[in-house]
A and B are shown apart, each in its own frame.
Chain A
């Protein structure tokens, strides 16, 4: 059963489409191939999960574009959100 969405094939995050528990498998289509990733922690619905290792300092890609930068190492299956991502646009703010 598909429970996540990879919007663009260049993305390194998928969005889960229902709440996912720690250790649960997420399934999503990458083009015509189905892929599976194990969630390292609980992921709330519509939140992002890493579909590959993302080292600290690397860019988070969604919609085929950069949406921010990892502030620490993120492992395959890790929850990707404010606690480990920094915005480039918000950097310039006071």
Chain B
């Protein structure tokens, strides 16, 4: 199947063509949303970070924002700041420029004299950018240009048995065809980190895998929490999970079985010459995990949920898959792919993996997902600590 996408001036390839109205913090979020609603082709989201943060925490916010603007699905970005936030619009623009030279503009609410005065200028800028974006033509692209983010959330017993193994089969196919897959959710590696580490390309990658797990566990311990205790939960055990290793193996299965080539910290840009399976340090929390991978450059997301979730993203199509037949029928308006035939043996994991892969390619070529059509844009960001 031929793939078509947008070749950006920075050399990356997008499968959607958004104008991003980027709020630098919560104070400019509603304003950014209003601007986006005035302009066809513009997207925005609520940004809960960007202010009242210590430097280490602020870095996650900057990486998310710069990464979103640099995401290949974005044609260009208009940064909307307040004026007094720690993530000043000028600082955010500089971070964006480190990653990409795509179209970029910015305005501050306080400088323009409030939201209504800013709206006039911003809508005019966004209108112009959207017209330019509409002139972009799709060209033939390769599956080697695709970076796919994997995620699981709202898990139940079927997640580790059907949905994630089917995703794993799909991930292996994409990697074998030369594409890139991101495995994330560091908290879900705990218990299976040595298995993951054994699949590392070299010693350096191996150490990084073990390090991000140790770092995350240490973070909880310093906050007085031990994530290994009581894990699997009584509910997990009632549902059939016996050990932590088993639970984690069920999670990491969605990344497939191939060699792990690189490990990225949250929201860092995946290098242009990297391919195959990579790991990104993200929380198990769905919205923030997906945001980190989008900031890394993922153009498409596949998300397994046993219990069902409507979650979307402002930048990329999110393909929902479930291994629970009941969930699929109950939430068919929000779920794109039914992996439950794997449980009944009606279809093999390999067959379903191939079907899912075909759906991924169709989505890359323009087919909209259910979350995308409904316009869901939930976004969150990883945190180092509380607000100041």
Q: Chain A: residues with CB nearer than 8 A to chain B?
A: 2, 5, 7, 15, 17, 28-29, 44-48, 60, 62-63, 65-68, 80-82, 85-90, 93
Contact = CB atoms under 8 A, between A and B. Distances in A.
B329 interface: no
B244 interface: yes
Nearest to B191: A89
Contacts of B253: 63
**Which of A5, A44, A63 gathers most chain B CB within 10 Å?**
A63
Contact of B244 (A62, A80, A87): A87
Nearest to A69: B243
Contact of B245 (A15, A44, A47, A88): A88
Q: How large is the interface on B (under 10, 10 to 19, 20 to 34, 35 or more residues)?
A: 20 to 34
A90 B244 contact: yes
A2 B237 CA distance: 24
Given A7-B161, A15-B161, A93-B229, A67 B345 contact: no
A28 to B, nearest CB: 7
Given A17-B344, A46-B157, A89-B191, A67 B243 contact: yes
21 contacts: A2-B345, A5-B345, A7-B165, A17-B344, A45-B157, A46-B161, A46-B240, A48-B240, A65-B195, A65-B245, A68-B246, A86-B243, A87-B191, A87-B242, A88-B243, A89-B190, A89-B191, A89-B228, A89-B245, A90-B243, A90-B244
B6 to A, nearest CB: 38
A68 B345 contact: no
Contacts of A65: 192, 195, 245, 249
A1 B253 CA distance: 26
